[in-house]
Amino acid sequence: MKEGKDNSEHGLLRAGSIFLVGSVVVAGFNYLYHVFMGRMLGPGDYGILGSLFAIIYIISFSTKTFGLVLSKFSAEFHGKNEFGNLKSLVRRSFKKIAFWGAISLILYFSACPFIAKFMHLNSISGVIIVGVIAYFSVLFTVLTGALNGLQKFVWQNISMIISICIKFFLAVILVYFGMGVNGALLAIMLGLILGIFIAELPLLRLLKGIKEKSFDSKRIYAFLIPAFLSVLFPIFLITLDQILVKHFFESIDAGLYAASGNIGKIIWFSSGFFIHAMFPKIIALKSKNVKTRQLLKKTLLYTSFLSIGGILVYFLVPRFVVSIIYGYQYLSASPLIGIFGLSLGLYSISQVLIHYNLATERYGFLLFLFIGLVIEIFGILSFHETLFQILVSLLIANIFNFFSLLIYTVLEFKSDEVEKNNDYCTLL
């Protein structure tokens, strides 16, 4: 069976194993990056880096919208052998996003002094580099989104692995030679540029010699808005707390919170890789009117199993985990990582439900994501005397999102069954 052809449960496990390897390597080097940066920079400068990372997450992850769009419609065009439409989709998307991204970057530069002032930063250079990182991140996302839709999972993971490895090694070198926070950020930018080059190679080979064909782009724009909101609300949920902590607390406290947050995100990164395999497979099955429920259940099961395992470790041996990852100077963060792990475990499972509903073009869940975000913001603005109070607001919001998404998805299943029964009765 060639890569990308099997949409069965076995295909999910095979694709999941590819993403497992890729996720382990990417998460491993990503956390080596944070461990080395945390130790080399110290809690003060690492708190600055952590707050800047919150901006990176907000901008770059919100641009994951384009990855979802490219993944969805690449999967559809590939499944129907419409390679002319596929080539047009990839080329036009890359050119338009490169152009409008450059315009947005210029506007972002004008806001850099205000962002630096709000976050109590002495220099705007880090904020400027963050904008450039976001620009290259969205271009990288367009290409990896197309690879995902084509189920070229090996190439997708290779490009991400090379990018993250360059990020880590260059960061260590640049920070060692005294470039500080800016060096840690420049390493990310250079890694993304190389990742873009690698991701282009299989697409250029696949689409070489194919004549572009025009297609109706109305469906793409109709999908763009719900996809954007489905990415924006959740990423705000797990990044606004970092920014507000930097606003309300001193840099050392922000560094401790950033460290505990990054440890918590291990749960998300190490359990959420099945989503990337599930999304294009759900779309492929739906285009053939094949039931998708079983694939969703398996993805939820695998994701929940991995999440629960990590959460238990964080609650049972928090000091050991913190000391191994960040060292003894961050031990004050150990009481936070259990709650952080639980929050990010729920977040990871919620992401499965979000991507499933997106793939099946059901968008009513967006209201619940917005309410969850409001709950978190209201909670943090009202209660921010301690880091634990900030964390409780994050947890409550994730609990709300998880149960509301689960109930919504189950009710949609029942609604589909009623419609099918009505259609059957009509035929009779």
The highest-confidence range among 74-88, 210-224, 313-327, by mean pLDDT, is 313-327
Which has more confidence, 419 or 209? 209
Query: 181, 164, 177: which is closest to 129 by C-alpha?
Result: 181
Within 8 A by CB and 6+ apart from 121, the residues are 48, 51, 127
Per-residue confidence (pLDDT) for residue 4, from 0 to 100: 46
Which single residue is written with the structure tokens 């110290």? 42
Instruction: Report whether pLDDT(239) > 50.
Output: yes
Work out the pLDDT band at 16, boundaries 50, 70, 90.
Answer: low
**pLDDT tens per residue across span 264-282:** 888 887 777 778 778 888 8
Per-residue confidence (pLDDT) for residue 345, from 0 to 100: 93
Query: 110, 106, 99, 363: which is closest to 231 by C-alpha?
Result: 363
Share of the chain above pLDDT 70, in %: 92
Q: Mean pLDDT, the chain, as a whole number?
A: 83
Per-residue confidence (pLDDT) for residue 424, from 0 to 100: 38
Which single residue is written with the structure tokens 């919170």? 257
Calculate mean pLDDT across residues 283-312.
85
The highest-confidence range among 15-29, 34-48, 134-148, by mean pLDDT, is 134-148
The least confident of 282-291, 373-382, 404-413 is: 282-291
Query: 267, 268, 266: which is closest to 235 by C-alpha?
Result: 268
Instruction: Report whether pLDDT(288) > 80.
Output: no
**pLDDT tens per residue across span 395-426:** 999 999 999 999 999 887 766 654 455 543 44
Which has more confidence, 102 or 44? 102
Q: What is the pTM of this model?
A: 0.70
Calculate mean pLDDT across residues 317-323.
89
**pLDDT tens per residue across span 328-370:** 778 888 888 899 999 999 999 999 999 999 888 888 999 999 9
Alpha carbon distances (Å) from 263 to 41, 310, 330, 335, 410 = 17, 10, 11, 12, 32
Per-residue confidence (pLDDT) for residue 62, from 0 to 100: 66
Pseudo-torsion of CA 173, 176, 182, 187, nearest 10°? Answer: 10
**pLDDT tens per residue across span 104-135:** 899 989 988 888 888 777 788 888 998 899 89
Q: How far is CA 398 from the centre of its chain?
A: 16
Per-residue confidence (pLDDT) for residue 312, from 0 to 100: 94
Q: How far is CA 352 from the centre of its chain?
A: 12
Instruction: Report whether pLDDT(252) > 70.
Output: yes
Asked if 97 contacts 140 with a C-beta cutoff of 8 angstroms, the reply is no
Report how far residue 231's alpha carbon sits from residue 294's, in angstroms, rounded to the nearest whole number.
Answer: 24
Work out the pLDDT band at 12, boundaries 50, 70, 90.
Answer: low
Name the token pair of 310.
Answer: 């990590």
Calculate mean pLDDT across residues 361-388.
91
Within 8 A by CB and 6+ apart from 61, the residues are 231, 235, 239
Instruction: Report whether pLDDT(58) > 80.
Output: no
The least confident of 108-122, 132-146, 370-384 is: 108-122
Per-residue confidence (pLDDT) for residue 3, from 0 to 100: 47
Per-residue confidence (pLDDT) for residue 88, from 0 to 100: 87
Report how far residue 89's alpha carbon sits from residue 102's, in angstroms, rounded to the nearest whole number.
Answer: 20
Asked if 278 contacts 356 with a C-beta cutoff of 8 angstroms, the reply is yes
Per-residue confidence (pLDDT) for residue 173, from 0 to 100: 94
Report how far residue 102's alpha carbon sits from residue 124's, in angstroms, rounded to the nearest whole number.
Answer: 19
The least confident of 207-221, 295-309, 408-422 is: 408-422
Name the token pair of 252.
Answer: 């050392």
**pLDDT tens per residue across span 69-91:** 888 888 778 777 788 888 888 88
